[in-house]
Amino acid sequence: MSFNPYLFFSGDCQQAFAFYSRVFGVDAQVMTAGDVPDGMDPMSGAEPHHVMHASIDLGGSYLMGSDDPTGDTGPKRGIAVSYTAPDPAAAQVTFDNLAEGGTITLPVSATFWSPAFGMLIDRFGVSWMVDTYPAEDPAATG
C-alpha cells in the first residue's frame, strides 16, 4: 500500500512538473487536455494546454497532479508534501532546489526526530516538508 499526493494547479501544472522533474532528477509523464482523444472531454472547459494528469515516479511512490479547471488560483492549504531524503546532505540539496523562487518557512536543521528537517512553500504554492530518517532508524535501511 502507498499514499501518493495529487496536487491541483491553476494553469501552471506543466511548469510545476518540469520543475519537480529537475529537482528529483526524473522525467514527468504529462497528458494535456489537447492529448485527449476526440469526443472525450474529461476536463470540461479546459484549454488544450491544461494538464489533465501529470506524474513522476519517485521509486515506487508517485507525485501526481493536474490543472484545476475551476480556475481556483488560491494557495494550497491544509496539506504538505513530505519527502524523505536518503541522508542529510541530499535533504539539504532537495530542500534548496524546491525553495528556489519559493518561501522557506523553516530552514533545514537537526531535530529530535530527524538529523535534517525543513519546511517551505515552493514557487507554485505547494507546502513541503523535507527530512531524512535517523541513522539508527530501521526504516532507513529498508
Domain that holds residue 31: 6-67
Residues 43 and 91 in one domain: no
The phi, psi pair for 125, rounded to 5°, reads: 85, 10
Domain boundary among 67, 95, 112: 67
Residue 47's CB is within 10 A of a number of other CB atoms, namely 12
Domain boundary among 67, 92, 115: 67
Residues 63 and 88 in one domain: no
Residue 99 inside a domain? The answer is yes
Residue 72 inside a domain? The answer is no
Per-residue pLDDT for 108 more than 70? yes
Could you give the number of structural domains in the chain? 2
Q: What is the domain-level CATH number for residue 17?
A: 3.10.180.10
Residue 15 inside a domain? The answer is yes
Question: 101, 94 in Cβ contact below 8 A?
Answer: no
Per-residue pLDDT for 70 more than 80? no
Question: 27, 21 in Cβ contact below 8 A?
Answer: yes
Q: What is the pLDDT of residue 141?
A: 46
Residues 63 and 85 in one domain: no
* Half-sphere exposure of residue 123: CA atoms within 13 angstroms, side-chain side: 15
pLDDT 10s digits, 81-95: 999 999 999 999 999
Q: Which residue has the higher pLDDT, 94 or 137?
A: 94
Strand partners, 118: 130
Residues 60 and 85 in one domain: no
Residues 23 and 50 in one domain: yes
What gap in Å lies between CA 81 and CA 88, rounded to an integer? 18
Strand order in the sheet with 127-132: 81-85, 127-132, 117-121, 103-109
The three-state secondary structure class of 96 is: helix
User: 0.85 exceeded by the pTM?
Assistant: no
pLDDT 10s digits, 7-66: 989 889 999 999 999 999 999 999 988 887 777 766 667 778 889 899 999 988 999 999
Residues 57 and 103 in one domain: no
Q: What is the domain-level CATH number for residue 113?
A: 3.30.720.110
pLDDT band (50, 70, 90) for residue 80 = very high
Q: In the predicted model, what is the mean pLDDT of residues 118-129?
A: 95
The CA-CA-CA angle for residues 67, 73, 76, to 5°, reads: 80
Per-residue pLDDT for 74 more than 70? no
